[in-house]
Structure 1
């Protein structure tokens, strides 16, 4: 069994198409197909379901695929370890972050680059469940999510960064209560744009409205923060977002009105990584630096 066969298998899972997987791997489709068949012959099991209408993996193939990902991830870690030993300023790190933590990403990247100047970063914004899945599949090395979303089975390690604070925000033209704090009953009467219901942040907001015994007036639901920010800038709708998900100062045409919401939960947000028996020097250093961020004061109003 050769490493290239495992690489082809992982590419096939990613693209779900023989030709595109072959192009990604820089080989011909017949060569990739032959390598997969050779792998099946060596293992004595059928890995890929070959059907004109349906493409997928057998149950045995899914288990082989999981081992292939682990093997490739381990080899990548070995290569990075060797590279890190030669040049402590380099390496590659993939991070997944949930949308409500978007403001934290520049702070996190700045800290990592300050400690590892030539670090190459790959950042993907996704839901917490997708981030945990990508960590388990070795597609990313670090996540930024709600800590209460992490399974308690010991598969992951976590580092607390800050307690999230939800606030009511609107452009100057929207009429808000003339005080620094707003109740959920008052917020429910405003025209709102909110994150989609699949987002944990939105689920927390909905729970607060239910606890207050009121139904919000929602005109727009979306998982795209850019759309919510556009509505805020246009002055048409108000929103409820974590402080870390508010538009930065230069994005708004005029300073936003901000009201603290009371009562309001403060879920913990932090870093998560897959628990592994061996951690590369690059990952150890990145985890140390990222976990050293002090963000509670910066993300609280």
Structure 2
């Protein structure tokens, strides 16, 4: 017994005509008639009252029709459940994140997994430019990057997560300017460790020094956030980092920070490729991301 035979029977009952039923099923009339006869032979009963025309269902046929409807309804429910399980209860997500925002990911994943408990996530660290390229090529499904790096060609959907705030950071053993704020000139005299020049965060810092017409004392440049953290916590060098990229140990027993006057604050956001057909999983996670409130977390 094939599912299509049950479909033929339901269509025949609805159309009350062999040709119209065959047309609704996308098959020829002989194929539909043969399918019904095969079903009758397999069940050993007569289902259709017929001569050359359709005269209705036998009593046995009516019971088979009821069973056929229940079977196809159950199958449709099974298909929906399978799609739900694949796309919502579990599923996989690939995210690209720029280095200064890497510490945002655990907070986001906590919210994602609350909505999708069995979610499997692959996180890769790239520059903003690389993330947009890999989104276009479908290597990534979402990215966390500077929104001003997106081209205005309508290829992406984005939602801002927070406005990035850069701060001067150093261990308690390092003497920093008094007060809560400092200038680029104040920072220039300190021995610094900074992110690499190819990174957007560093380019914003360099722009601040240029506009202030001062030259910083850079002792270390790296694209490894862990190395900057080690230098900061070891009390060897100061750094300029986004609040989102600071180590957790900030305060009296950890790092001291100063706000920087006249520093750009670009929006950091979640980005996905704009496309007409989006999976249930991505739609669900996108809605979850809209509820995130990160602005207060990454501001000092």
TM-score by length of 1: 0.71
Determine the C-alpha separation between the residues in 1 that align with 2:230 and 2:81: 44
- Cα pair distance change 1:191/1:299, threshold 3 Å: same
Say whether 1:110 aligns with 2:114. no
Match of 1:198 in 2: 198
Alignment of 1:153-168 (within 5 A): 153-168=153-168
CA shift for structure 1 position 219: 0.4
Checking the alignment, whether the CA contact within 8 Å between 1:271 and 1:291 is kept in structure 2 is: no
CA shift for structure 1 position 95: 0.5
Alignment of 1:135-154 (within 5 A): 135-154=135-154
Say whether 1:292 aligns with 2:252. no
| 1:77-124 superposed Cα distances (whole Å, 9 cap, x missing partner) | xx9995435673211000011011122111110010011111111111
- Cα pair distance change 1:253/1:261, threshold 3 Å: closer
CA shift for structure 1 position 172: 1.1
Match of 1:182 in 2: 182
Unaligned runs of 5+ in 1: 1-78
TM-score by length of 2: 0.71
Match of 1:95 in 2: 95
Checking the alignment, whether the CA contact within 8 Å between 2:172 and 2:252 is kept in structure 1 is: no
Aligned residues: 222
Determine the C-alpha separation between the residues in 2 that align with 1:137 and 1:82: 28
CA shift for structure 1 position 261: 0.5
SS at match of 2:119: strand
Checking the alignment, whether the CA contact within 8 Å between 1:170 and 1:256 is kept in structure 2 is: yes
- Cα pair distance change 1:278/1:82, threshold 3 Å: farther
SS at match of 1:103: helix
Determine the C-alpha separation between the residues in 1 that align with 2:135 and 2:175: 44
- Cα pair distance change 1:221/1:246, threshold 3 Å: same
SS at match of 2:209: helix
Checking the alignment, whether the CA contact within 8 Å between 1:81 and 1:281 is kept in structure 2 is: no
Match of 2:236 in 1: 236
SS at match of 2:88: coil
SS at match of 2:177: coil
- Cα pair distance change 1:219/1:87, threshold 3 Å: closer
Unaligned runs of 5+ in 2: 1-78
Mean CA deviation greater in 109-118 or 80-89: 80-89
Alignment of 1:206-217 (within 5 A): 206-217=206-217
CA shift for structure 1 position 263: 1.5
Checking the alignment, whether the CA contact within 8 Å between 1:145 and 1:272 is kept in structure 2 is: yes
Determine the C-alpha separation between the residues in 2 that align with 1:163 and 1:186: 24
CA RMSD of aligned residues (A): 2.1
